[in-house]
A and B are shown apart, each in its own frame.
Chain A
């Protein structure tokens, strides 16, 4: 009876061990390959990599991957700007009332951590119970008409949000792929967040622009010179009679200079030093000033400084039409080109047939007038149209370098993001700190293991030796489980393994103490072992189940590396239960197969 029982147990151990080896094998192979490749010269290595690309890729994918905190890299959490998305969906129906509702709903959802769309619908209905959202939202594809109810539109907006997040993930994936990162991970978190993990990347600024770049490309016409001058004059007149409040800072240090009345450039609205741009924006956003600028005119900043004054960069403000003539959607191809005379890099774009037709019409109707090329709200250039352009070509210059031009091509080709993305969390770990952490983790595991192993042998003699063997297997099992579930090993994860070493012996301590107790009570060795295992079981199970629950909770609430800790803790509990109960039992039974056998438990 007992023999059979152990046969089953041995089978389980063999199966478990086999699976572990199967899952860990690629990791071992991958490490050997890496060591092998590190010993080669650069040229040899490249040759070797191209020859074995399939094999290397397979190994890398299957091997136990290290978290960003161990191998270095960048971790970014992005949030999709749902308020802007809703405003965009409303499109031409949007008015100031809707904008105000959106603003209030956004602030409330930020403050109270509630869902924006819920807040938006609530706010809209609380202002006027009879108001219909259908005034603002239409969609033929989704069958949203003038007669749609508010709840239909709410669920339509929710679907649009989901679609926007999915589309944003797709776009980010395509951008990251072009950027050339190995093993990037891009995942959705919650309803409107995206987590991007980029191992080995440390050029943060470039990645940030790449991820966030909405690449909202617009072609806009410019107003008549007279309109621009009238608006500028009106602003200057306003401030010439303006009496600032007591506690208000003088908003206009040198207004005449800012709003450039001498007209060095007839389309320019003015200029300011880069560091003053925020103050100028505040002036332009004032209610009184907004009213002085015609509705069909918008003032935007130039993307690049147009002049320098005593080493200070000066930026131009350019007046453009509020209406957008053409957007980046029509761009079918973009590539980096070099401007013939200066050899400066620029981005050359080709439009699809519909875009080319409209571009021909716009350029044809505006010969001799400038068209502003606006990217993400900044004017890159406003070249004057010389002839009608029929082939759908245009270009953006002034990107400042080849790399920036390449990144813009990447962003344009992957498509515009459906809504702005905000970086709400970003963590970058340098490769050397990661290496130091790996070393520290390895030392901890080894020392921890060593100290516990010595203690167990001193305290429990043979029993301790058996427990140590189980402990070694336990660590291998944990790594196997992690590799099998494709989890990543993080620094907190290593801490979890170290902690497991301490806790894993607990089950054996419980059992061995019980065996000693039973023997003190006068039982034979075999009977004491049987009773010891049986009586210790309920305590072991209860203690581990509760800890497992805690680990599950940690997993569901934690993010990033903390999840890694929770995973190793769970793996550790399962593995240590198995090794402490099943493996030690099989070994002890083997050692006590003779009635006269003696196994010391200290």
Chain B
């Protein structure tokens, strides 16, 4: 079996459509992030989070209104996998044991006979949450910086670095936007927590893989076809590596989908970020990174001439 035996798509020509498409997504993401705010999970916001398992299905909406008064603030309640398990998040300074006892006492009154067990308890202090937030931000910035430097050294052109970084930022920003918008109605936990940062960095690593493979081919072709113009050469390189790009994306998409479907409730958000990330990462290394490299390189040369 073979896909894309000897393709000759004009990726660079398609860049206007790609820019429009990506630009729209980025604008929507930024607007969503600014208007709705990032949907921080317990790791980055602090507070207390519990997973309860009931014997019988429960109604989340009813539970939310019933618990608001005793807890002193509106708790965030979501189904966690089945309709018998719920994830409850609450901002309170109260002792975690006392909060849990309070919730359990209310459950006992609300659902007599429906036995409940505590599956998971998380407590994150507000100052610790800020530390985690800071750590996450630093790790993403630091990762992008290291990537920039490495690509600059290996490919000897800042436009390669800039193109790669822009594609990565593009991927992360759009995933962030999708997670923000989905916060309202997703059937699983899409809050931004440490696992999601790990997913972001994995997306960075993955998307980078694709981009680097293309850049490597550009580096190789630029030695073989010395007279070819830069745009054609990039197009050729993209086409040369297209079959590999698609095959790797497909296999990776397979496994992250498997993780999303079978990986359990705890990993749902994480796996979902990876699914979107793989798709976006492939798209951006084909249509965004290289197109940007061409543009940046042209400008750099034009500037050098003038």
Contacts and interface: CB of A to CB of B under 8 A. Distances in A.
B208 A506 contact: no
A310 to B, nearest CB: 19
Contact of A426 (B121, B150, B271): B121
Given A495-B259, A546-B208, A547-B208, A539 B123 contact: no
Interface stretch (A31-39, A45-53, A439-447): A439-447
A547 B209 contact: yes
A554 B267 contact: no
Given A440-B263, A546-B208, A425 B146 contact: no
Contact of B248 (A499, A509, A557): A509
Interface stretch (A144-152, A357-365, A562-570): A562-570
**Central interface residue in A550, A553, A554, A565, by most chain B CB within 10 Å:** A550
A452 B206 CA distance: 17
A204 B97 contact: yes
B108 to A, nearest CB: 18
A424 B267 contact: no
A539 B217 contact: yes
Interface in B177-219: 194-195, 197-198, 201-202, 204-206, 208-209, 212-213, 215-217, 219
A354 interface: no
B194 A559 contact: yes
Nearest to B141: A553
A551 B201 CA distance: 8
Interface in B111-129: 117-125, 127-128
Given A448-B258, A455-B251, A558 B263 contact: no
B119 A503 contact: no
A486 B169 CA distance: 35
Interface string A508-547: 0110010011001000000000000001001100111111
Interface string A442-461: 01100110011001101100
B105 interface: no
B14 interface: no
Interface residues of B, number: 74
B143 A562 contact: no
A179 interface: no
A501 B252 CA distance: 8
A565 B200 CA distance: 13
Range, interface on chain A: 35 or more
Contact of B205 (A422, A439, A551, A602): A551
B262 to A, nearest CB: 4
B208 to A, nearest CB: 5
B209 A426 contact: no
Nearest to B194: A562
Interface string B6-37: 10000000000000000000000000000000
A426 B123 contact: yes
Nearest to B118: A430
Interface string A408-438: 0000000000000011111111101100110
B294 interface: no
Contacts of A560: 194
A205 interface: yes
Given A443-B262, A499-B256, 4 more contacts: A430-B118, A439-B264, A513-B241, A535-B220
21 contacts: A69-B266, A77-B128, A205-B97, A425-B123, A426-B96, A426-B121, A427-B123, A428-B122, A432-B117, A437-B264, A444-B258, A447-B262, A455-B250, A491-B266, A498-B256, A539-B212, A544-B209, A550-B143, A556-B139, A557-B135, A559-B132
